[in-house]
Amino acid sequence: MKVRAIVSGTQPPLLFPPYRSTIRRAPKEPLIRIPETLSDLNAPVYGWWPVGETDNDLTRQHQGEPQGERIIVSGRVLDEDARPVAGALVEIWQANAAGRYKHVKDDHPAPLDPNFTGAGRTITDADGRYEFTTIKPGAYPWRNHENAWRPAHIHFSLFGTSFRARLVTQMYFPGDPLMAHDPMVQSVRDDRARERMVSRFELGLTRPEWALGYVFDIILRGENATPFEERT
Ligand SMILES: [Fe+2]
């Protein structure tokens, strides 16, 4: 495989002081390369439980329907040569329509939705394609700086053939004015790379009288790679 250098500014740096958590989190010493073993490269990554029928439909995981704007999010996972990556585990997690996570540490005073957990998973098909049905997440405040709000986003994790092949990113929505004020988005300095974190509204993906559609393709490597916050 040809290894291509990462173009400066197209991936978020480990240290980006306007995003305050990176100050404590970023390594202060040079990184140490841990040699890969055969099991790192080949060990099975998925849990023993199969992906269930409603795992990729976050609107059908409870008795009732969640509140909010129903959306379909679909795209392809591609390598640097635009070849589809089949069999990748794609996991998502997100806030509900009011901007609240179902998580013990989320104390944002917005309502929880008893019909929405906010987590889903699926496996890419032979064409590298995945699809989720969910609810458009709301913006939420965080305490990074005065009056800080996260733009609406969906967290994505991708697993390849081993735990060492995990990528984590966030998908945003087109036209969200909060992106210009968000240090996580702005930590990616390259304009075109930042755009690669933004989904595209696609009328063809909408289901009439049911849900709006957004396309989010994920490119794993190369000069057009999606910005990833975590590479293991
Ligand atoms: Fe989030």
In this predicted structure, which of 62-66, 180-184, 191-195, 222-226 has the lowest mean pLDDT? 222-226
Whether residue 136 contacts residue 97, with contact meaning beta carbons closer than 8 Å, is answered with yes
The residue among 199, 229, 230, 172 whose CA lies nearest residue 76 is 199
Residues acting as catalytic residues: 101, 140, 150, 153, 155
Distance (angstroms) between ligand 1 centre and the Cα of 137 equals 9
- Residue 1, pLDDT above cutoff 60: no
pLDDT digits (tens, 9 = 90+) for 22-33: 999 999 998 888
Distance (angstroms) between ligand 1 centre and the Cα of 193 equals 20
- Residue 72, pLDDT above cutoff 50: yes
The mean pLDDT value for 115-144 works out to: 96
Confidence (pLDDT) at 161 = 67
- Report the alpha-carbon distance of residue 213 to residue 141 in Å, rounded: 26
The residue among 155, 175, 162 whose CA lies nearest residue 218 is 155
Token pair for 173: 């929505």
The mean pLDDT value for 106-122 works out to: 94
- Residue 212, pLDDT above cutoff 80: yes
| Domains of the chain: residue spans and CATH | 20-220 (2.60.130.10)
Q: Which residues pair with 156 in a beta bridge?
A: 92, 169
Which residue is it, tokens 């991936």? 11
pLDDT level of residue 2 (50, 70, 90 thresholds):
very low
Whether residue 71 contacts residue 213, with contact meaning beta carbons closer than 8 Å, is answered with yes
Question: Please, what is the average pLDDT of the chain?
Answer: 91
The mean pLDDT value for 22-51 works out to: 78
Between 1 and 113, residue with greater pLDDT: 113
pLDDT level of residue 68 (50, 70, 90 thresholds):
very high
Which of 20-29, 68-77, 162-171 is the most confident on average? 68-77
Q: 10 Å Cβ neighbour count for 105?
A: 5
- Residue 118, pLDDT above cutoff 70: yes
- Residue 6, pLDDT above cutoff 80: no
CA-angle at 66, arms to 63 and 69, nearest 5°? 150
Distance (angstroms) between ligand 1 centre and the Cα of 7 equals 26
pLDDT level of residue 5 (50, 70, 90 thresholds):
low
- Residue 186, pLDDT above cutoff 50: yes
Distance (angstroms) between ligand 1 centre and the Cα of 2 equals 34
pLDDT digits (tens, 9 = 90+) for 191-211: 999 999 999 999 999 999 999
pLDDT level of residue 48 (50, 70, 90 thresholds):
low
- Residue 20, pLDDT above cutoff 90: yes
164 Ramachandran zone, left/alpha/beta (phi>0; psi -120 to 50): alpha
Distance (angstroms) between ligand 1 centre and the Cα of 112 equals 15
For 136-150, the three-class secondary structure string (H helix, E strand, C coil) is CCCCEEECCCCCEEE
The secondary structure of 70-93 as a DSSP string is EEEEEEEEE-TTS-B-TT-EEEEE
